Structures are given as C-alpha cells and as structure tokens.
C-alpha cells in the first residue's frame, strides 16, 4: 500500500502544526508549508520518523504555490490530504481597512485556498482515476466568521465567507465527478493558535498604516478572546481527522455558536434586518459602541 501524503499550509504553528502531528502519528509523509522560516524549521525538527518535505511559501503567491505543487508531485506523487490552513487576521471598521489590508488578508485567506484547490485537486483526481483504491480529502480552514458577520472585523469576515462558499462548491463539484475525493470546511471559533498575532508575518509590500482606533479595539478584543479559548488547537485537529474518517463536511469547534448562524439564516428567510449580534451580551455591545463613539 502506498504511503499516504498530507500537504499542510500554515504548518509552523496552531492548527497546522497539530494537524501535522496527528498525520505523523498515522504514518503519513508530511509536506509542511509556512511563510515563517524559523517556525517551520522548529516544526520540521519534531518529525524524525516520517518523510518530510518543507517549503517556505507565501500561499498568496501563485508562482510559489505552483513550485510547491510540482515539488510535491516529484517527491511523493499526488497527495492524499491537503489542508489549506494558512490564514491571517485583521479587524476594524470595514471602511477603515486600507487597500493593503484587503490585498494581504484576501491574498492569504482566500487566494491561498484557491491556489491549493486549483493545483492539488487535479492531481488528486488523476490519482483517483488511475487507482480505484486511492482516496483523497481536502480540508479548507475558514472560521465561524465565515458563517456569521461579527462587527468590526469585516475584511476577515469577507475572506472567510468566501472560503466557506468555495468549499461548499468544491464539495458539490467533486461529487459530480468522483466518489474518491472529498472535501471539508473547518470553522473554528476562538482557539489559541497565534492567528491574532499574524501581523508578525505581514509582507513589507503590504505595510500597514498607523492603526485606527477601531483596529486597536478589534486587536485587543481578539487577543483576549483567542488567548482565553478553552479548546486547544490539538483538540480542533482531532476534530478534523474525525471528520475526515467519517466524511463530514462541516467541522465546527464550538457547535453552540451555530445558534447565531440560525438567527442569521432566519433573518434572511424572514427578510428582516440583521439581528443585533450582542443581544445575548448587551453589555459587550454597549461597551464597543461607547469606545467607538468616544472622541
């Protein structure tokens, strides 16, 4: 039996690293990808009992992702698992996001997934056609922000809604052409991963302007929420592999957050204005409004 291969972007920390650890426990070849060279090098050093191909890649860059796909094909052939996981965070009132903010966040969060899907899916489908025993699975990391629209983090919401849409369409499109390759979308809520400090890897070409008040408020709230998360990145990685084993499409780290999704969909179905996201925690909404309206 051919040894299975997992491609993981954002593998230097958070979900990516924990996913790599579980893949290694299952004896898979690892393709570890990250934009942060030191974090990637440290991660690679952990894996001494499996074959590892590591690459420093900016997933937003088409040519770098193309080179990665070619390297994977040459070393291991078509991968069996692709985790399009790399992501960055950014907040603030939506009209205050600069063009550089939009290009950076959409480049990583959306185009990184697009490149992973467009480059690896054809390889996986070719492998499936050549071998009836082959099975593959693509997991795209979105967010609960891809199912809801929390205020003061619009550019991130937009990127993650796009990943949910892309993933749902991928699931449907795959079902038209094969029974051997499947897809899932991961929608974590606040989990300690390091994404709230993703500006550490922001390229100089997308240098950020001095943060606005709303962006500083968003950063502080996200720092607090992420660092106080009870579920760990390892817990979420275990959920991902369980979903793969049972061919589950939606992966939610905090199913209780789906109540907000139901409310949003009811808003749509009933054609009513979007509900107050703070109706269950009015003090938080009142505090945010007061901060944003203060001179």
CATH code, domain with 26: 3.40.50.720
The per-residue pLDDT for 245 is 97
26-40, 69-83, 205-219, 235-249: least confident range: 205-219
Inform me whether the pLDDT recorded for 80 exceeds 70: yes
Positions marked active-site: 156
In this structure, the answer to whether residues 241 and 144 fall within a common structural domain is yes
Co-location of 190 and 274 in the same domain = no
pLDDT at 213: 79
164 and 274 both lie in a single domain: no
pLDDT band at 212 (very low <50, low <70, confident <90, very high): confident
Residues 58, 67 contacting (CB under 8 angstroms): no
What pLDDT does residue 92 have? 92
- What angle, rounded to 10 degrees, do the helices at 213-227 and 282-293 form? 150
182 and 288 in a single domain? The answer is no
Q: How many CB atoms lie within 10 A of CB 109?
A: 30
- CA 294/CA 214 separation, integer angstroms: 11
Task: Say what the pLDDT of residue 206 is.
Answer: 61
pTM here is: 0.91
Residue 46 structural domain: 5-253
Q: Do 268 and 158 share a structural domain?
A: no
- CA–CA dist 275, 272 (Å, integer): 8
Residues 268, 141, single domain; the answer is no
Take residue 203 and report the two structure tokens written for it: 């390229």
- Per-residue pLDDT, 226: 58
Same-domain check for residues 71 and 200: yes
Long-range contacts of 129-134 (CB under 8 A, 24+ apart): 132/180, 134/78, 134/80, 134/180
CA distances from 132 to 5, 58, 139 (A): 17, 34, 21
> Could you tell me which residues come within 8 angstroms of residue 57 by beta carbon, excluding any fewer than 6 positions away?
9, 33, 34, 35, 64, 65, 67, 68
245 shares a domain with 141: yes
| Mean pLDDT in residue range 89-94 | 90
For residues 216 and 274, membership in a common domain is answered with: no
Q: Are residues 137 and 278 in the same domain?
A: no
Whether residue 236 contacts residue 117, with contact meaning beta carbons closer than 8 Å, is answered with no
271 with 243, same domain: the answer is no
pLDDT of residue 48: 94
Phi and psi at 153, nearest 5°, equal -150, 45
pLDDT at 215 over 90: no
**Can you tell me the distance from the alpha carbon of 35 to that of 86, in angstroms, rounded to the nearest whole number?**
9
Number of domains in the chain: 2
81 falls in which pLDDT band (50, 70, 90)? very high
Domain identity same for 84 and 156: yes
């Amino acid at each position: 039996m051919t040894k299975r291969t997992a491609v993981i972007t954002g593998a230097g920390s958070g979900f990516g690293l924990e996913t790599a650890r579980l893949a290694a426990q299952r004896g898979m070849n690892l393709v570890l990808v990250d934009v942060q060279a030191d974090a990637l090098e440290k991660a690679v050093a952990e894996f001494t009992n499996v074959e590892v191909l590591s690459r420093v890649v900016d997933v937003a860059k088409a040519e770098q992702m193309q080179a990665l796909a070619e390297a994977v094909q040459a070393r291991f052939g078509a991968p069996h698992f692709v985790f399009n996981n790399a992501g960055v965070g950014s907040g603030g009132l939506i009209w205050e996001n600069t063009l550089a903010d939009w290009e950076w966040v959409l480049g990583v969060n959306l185009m990184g997934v697009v490149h992973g899907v467009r480059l690896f899916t054809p390889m996986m489908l070719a492998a499936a056609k050549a071998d009836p025993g082959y099975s593959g699975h693509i997991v795209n990391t979105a967010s609960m922000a891809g199912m809801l629209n929390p205020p003061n983090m619009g550019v991130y919401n937009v990127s993650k809604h796009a990943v949910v849409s892309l993933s749902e369409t991928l699931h449907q499109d795959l079902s038209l052409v094969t029974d051997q390759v499947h897809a899932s979308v991961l929608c974590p809520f606040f989990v300690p991963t390091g994404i709230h400090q993703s500006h550490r890897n922001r390229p100089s070409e997308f240098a950020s302007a001095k943060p606005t008040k709303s962006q500083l408020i968003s950063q502080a709230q996200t720092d607090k929420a992420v660092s106080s998360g009870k579920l760990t990145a390892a817990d979420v990685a275990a959920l991902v592999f369980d979903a793969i084993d049972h061919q589950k499409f939606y992966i939610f780290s905090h199913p209780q957050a789906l109540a907000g999704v139901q409310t949003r969909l009811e808003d749509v179905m009933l054609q009513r204005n979007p509900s107050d996201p703070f109706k269950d925690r009015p003090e938080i909404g009142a505090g945010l409004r007061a901060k944003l309206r203060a001179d």
